[in-house]
Amino acid sequence: MTSADASERIIIEDQTETIHSIDELRSPLLPPRRPRRVIGKAAALAATLALILLLLLVAGLGLLPSACCGTSRSRHRPRSSPPVPVELTLLAAAHDRGAVCLDGSPPGYHLQTGSGAGSRSWLIHLEGGGWCDTALLTGCSAGGLATLLHCNDFRARFPQEVSVKCLPDAGFFLNVKDISGQRSMRSVYSGVVHLQNATAVLPKDCLLANKDPTECFFPAEIVKSMRTPTFVLNSAYDSWQVQNVVAPDTSSPDEPWRRCRADIRSCNSSQIQVLNGFRKAMVDGLEAVEDNKNCSWFIDSCFTHCQAWFDNSPWNSPVAPRLGNKTLVEAVGDWYFGRSQSQVVREIGCEYPCNPTCNSHQLPA
């Protein structure tokens, strides 16, 4: 990202280990300690971030490394020195709203001020404002699920003239049976929904249809109520879900399945058929909302998890996976800037292993 186009960036961080003092919340990756701010309850932005963070914790699927922003032009430039880490700001008053980390400690966020053309734009990334011109809510894995859950509410916090969009990455978790015939992911989500009393953030349309709240926690139900432009990014052979939804440890996978779930190239034909069934469930879940013009998607067949980590991923490189002769960054650009002839951008890849552009990205990070 060039300095002239820099947007406000917020990365929301969760601290899950036991904390005995506020000073222990400082990231070990930061340089020697500088004075930091602890924001009180009067900050409206803090309240907004606290609410978003709460769902990230509710998702309960773990956080992935922080992301930073980049442009397609940056790939042609030599790497410069590492950027200076952005200071952590703690939300001391978040406890009053019930928005705390898993150990009860205050949540926090990293905020970098935008400049130039990006000074009035925001990008909020969930790691799993006031007056703006544009706002993009994004996150991967658990953050991707939180992005879906909060997208409509996020839109409601901005004036109508502000362009607000959402990009959930690798957050389209499926309610499918594992290889033992059990719905292990549904069991996990049921515990989360009832333990955290998450009914208030679930889609009202789903609850009014008298569906179980746990079912309403899955993205296939959430997208049915999407009223904000959303770009669903996911692999149809999501490596995390293959390992934890299709063949989790609780399903007692045998050695062939352990090899398959670790490396899709080790799967035999019968195992590939099982994974194709997983792919079909994902595609069916999206195509069920094809009449909703707020929903766009990019579903490839690469064995990976979280593909939009900006500078930390191949999504913006010459060898990036392609669908419909478009790289992911090109498809996202067409969606975000309205460059597509149609209102939506929808790309779904064929069954594994038909996409040769996935060859260098088969193994999970």
The DSSP call for residue 138 is: E
pLDDT at 54 over 70: no
Name which of 306, 317, 298, 313 is nearest 73 in CA terms.
317
pLDDT at 20 over 60: no
Break the chain into its structural domains and give their ranges. Answer: 170-365
Most confident of the following: 46-60, 125-139, 334-348: 334-348
The mean pLDDT of 136-157, rounded to a whole number, is: 94
Q: What is the pLDDT of residues 347-357, one digit of tens each?
A: 999 999 999 99
Distance CA 22, CA 41 (A): 17
Alpha helices per DSSP H over 288-353: 328-336
pLDDT at 223 over 90: yes
Q: What is the pLDDT of residues 21-37, one digit of tens each?
A: 334 333 333 334 444 44
pLDDT at 327 over 60: yes
pLDDT the model gives residue 150: 94
Q: Which residues are catalytic?
A: 141, 238, 305
pLDDT at 180 over 80: yes
pLDDT at 341 over 60: yes
pLDDT the model gives residue 131: 44
Distance CA 159, CA 161 (A): 5
Confidence band (pLDDT; 50, 70, 90) for 238?
very high
Distance CA 247, CA 254 (A): 10
pLDDT the model gives residue 81: 63
**What SS3 class is residue 117?**
helix
What is the CB neighbour count within 10 angstroms for residue 131? Answer: 9
Contact criterion met (CB below 8 Å) for 91 and 106: yes
pLDDT at 50 over 80: no
What is the CB neighbour count within 10 angstroms for residue 239? Answer: 22
pTM exceeds 0.85, yes or no: no
Helix (H) or strand (E) segment spanning residue 186: helix 184-195
Question: Cα-flanking dihedrals φ and ψ of residue 122, to 5°?
Answer: -125, 145
pLDDT the model gives residue 14: 43
